Homo-oligomer: A and B are copies of this chain.
Amino acid sequence: MGTVTAPWKQLLLNALESNSHLKHSSYVQLATIGSNGRPSNRSVVFRGFHENSDNILINTDTRTRKVEELKHCPFSEICWYFTDSWEQFRINGRIDIIDGSNPDSEKLQIREKSWFASSPRSRLQYLGPYPGLPQLSEEPQETSVDPSAGPVSEFCLLVLDPEQVDYLNLKTNKRLMFTSTQSQIGEKCWTSERINP
C-alpha cells in the first residue's frame, strides 16, 4: 500500500532521538562511485531534512573528491548505523549538488540557510587548504569568518533524495525494505515489505 509521507522517516527520527546522547549518532557513511570506477566511502554529517520533505542535507567542500565523483555519477548509498539502538538504515538515492554557481535561486537559498545553520567553527573549515593535497605547512591557519557573511564559494550543499531504504534492527532482527515509486501526478509513493534479515 502506498503512502505519500515516507514511512521510514519516523523510524529514523525515533532512532535519532534514542541515540541523541551520542555525538556520533549524526555521522553517516556515504558511498559513491569513484572516477576510477571503484567504490568510495567516507563519513559525513547528517544536517537534517529539507523542511518537511524526506530529503537529506549534507554540507561539504566543493574541492573534495566526492563532489567530483557525484558529478559523474549522482547516485549514492548512505549506511547509518545507530550504535546504541542497534539499528541500521541503508538509504539509496540521487544527490543534487548545490554550489554557489547554481542557477536556481530557491536552491541557493537552501544552501545559504544550511551555511548559517552550521557553527562558526565548521564554517572555518572551508577556508582551509585544498583537501587531499599534500600538506605544505604545519602551522594551523589563523583565519576567522564574519558571522554575518554568507557562504564562501567552497561551501557546497548535497541534497539526497531517497528512493529506497533498507532498515534493519539488530535487537529484534526485523528488516524492512521501503521502496518508492512516482505516482501519475509525480508524487513519490512509498511501499514497505518485511524481508529476511
**Which residues of A come within 8 Å of B, CB atoms?**
22, 24, 27, 29-34, 37-43, 73, 75-79, 81, 83, 88, 90, 92, 128-135, 140, 173, 175, 177, 193-197
Contacts and interface: CB of A to CB of B under 8 A. Distances in A.
B129 A41 contact: no
Per DSSP, chain A at the interface is: strand
Given A29-B29, A33-B33, A38-B92, A81 B43 contact: yes
A130 B130 CA distance: 46
Contact of A77 (B38, B134, B135): B38
Contacts of A32: 39
Contacts of A78: 41
Contacts of A27: 81, 83
A37 to B, nearest CB: 8
27 contacts: A22-B83, A29-B29, A29-B41, A29-B81, A33-B33, A33-B37, A37-B73, A37-B75, A38-B77, A39-B39, A39-B40, A39-B92, A41-B79, A42-B88, A43-B81, A83-B83, A128-B196, A131-B195, A131-B197, A133-B195, A134-B193, A134-B195, A134-B196, A135-B175, A135-B194, A135-B195, A135-B196
